[in-house]
Amino acid sequence: MSNANAATVSAPQVRTYTSKERNFYLCGLVGQNIIYNIIGSALAYYFQFTLLIPAVAVSTIMAVARVWDAINDPIMGTIVDRTRSKWGKCRPFLIYVPLPLFIVTTLCFVNFGFYEESQTAMNVLIIGWAVFTYLLWEVVYTVGDIPLWGVTSLMTEVEKDRQKLLSLARIFGGVGAGITLLAMQPAALMVGGWIAEPIGIEMAGSEEAWIALNEQQEAMSKEFNIELEKYNADPAAYTAETGLDYDALAAKYLTTNEIIAEATRQGER
The predicted-structure confidence for 42-88, as pLDDT tens digits, reads as follows 888 888 888 888 888 888 998 998 898 888 888 888 888 888 878 77
Q: What pLDDT does 90 receive?
A: 84
Q: Which of 176, 170, 256, 261 is nearest to 217 (CA)?
A: 256
Look up the pTM and report it. Answer: 0.64
Q: What pLDDT does 253 receive?
A: 55
3-class SS at 85?
coil
For 89-115, write each residue's pLDDT tens digit.
888 888 888 899 999 999 998 877 665
3-class SS at 117?
coil
> How large is the angle between the packed helices 257-268 and 207-233, nearest 10 degrees?
150
For the chain, residues with pLDDT lower than 70 are 1-12, 113-122, 188-221, 224, 246-269
What residue spans define the domains of the chain?
17-203, 207-268
Q: What pLDDT does 101 receive?
A: 93
Q: What pLDDT does 266 receive?
A: 41
Q: What pLDDT does 157 receive?
A: 82
Q: What pLDDT does 99 receive?
A: 92
Q: What pLDDT does 198 receive?
A: 47
Pairing of strands 110-111, 202-203: antiparallel
